[in-house]
Structure 1
């Protein structure tokens, strides 16, 4: 069941990060102030809704009996971690600590960002599969 859950959460992540993320969210989700936080929360909420929907559909289609509270906790975890990672300073901080400033200057931050998201999704899938 882990593989199926992880796959659905990853598809949900891709949907929320690309076709369902607005230009406004992409441009402002890491910004300071109300505008930045509103864009970040809206984008993270999209992840919560899409991943929650895919888990519900997967449960019905595959006959899973996912416990409600852990499923809700996992979806909230996805939203919170996604919003945190997308503030951008955690990725920049990691790349500074890991001495990856050169790679960051040449597009590496996007890869580290996506790796952090996939790690959070994997932990969510593991938690729900136990």
Structure 2
């Protein structure tokens, strides 16, 4: 069941992060002002909804048996972790700690960002499958 949940949540992530994210959200979600927080939370909300729909499709089409509370906890984890990662400072701090300044200046931040998101999705899928 883990693999199925992971694939469903990964596809939901891709849908929410790319076609489901507005240019405004992408540009401002890390800003420290109220507009930045609104953009960030709206984008995290998109992840919550799309991931919820993916789990619902898994239940209906594949017969997955997911409890309401575990599913809700997984969705909150996905949305919450996404919001924190997208503030950009966690990725920047990691890259400093890992001595990746050169890679950060040459586009590496996007890869570290996506790795953090996929790790969070993996944790959610593991928790749901347990």
Q: Distance in 1 between matches of 2:64 and 2:36?
A: 38
Counterpart CA distance in 1 for 2:98 and 2:21 is: 29
TM-score under structure 2 length normalisation: 0.99
What corresponds to 2:120 in structure 1?
120
CA RMSD, 1 decimal: 0.4
Distance across 2 between alignment mates of 1:92 and 1:9: 25
Task: After TM superposition, give the deviation of residue 12 of structure 1 in Å.
Answer: 0.3
Unpaired stretches in structure 2, ≥5 consecutive residues: none
Gaps of 5+ in 1: none
TM-score where L is the length of structure 1 = 0.99
Q: Displaced runs of 4+ in structure 1, greater than 4 A? A: none
Residue 63 (structure 2) aligns with: 63
2:3 match: 3
- In the alignment, what sits opposite 1:31? 31
Deviations 1:23-49 (A, max 9, x none): 000000000110000000000000000
Q: Does 1:106 align with 2:112?
A: no
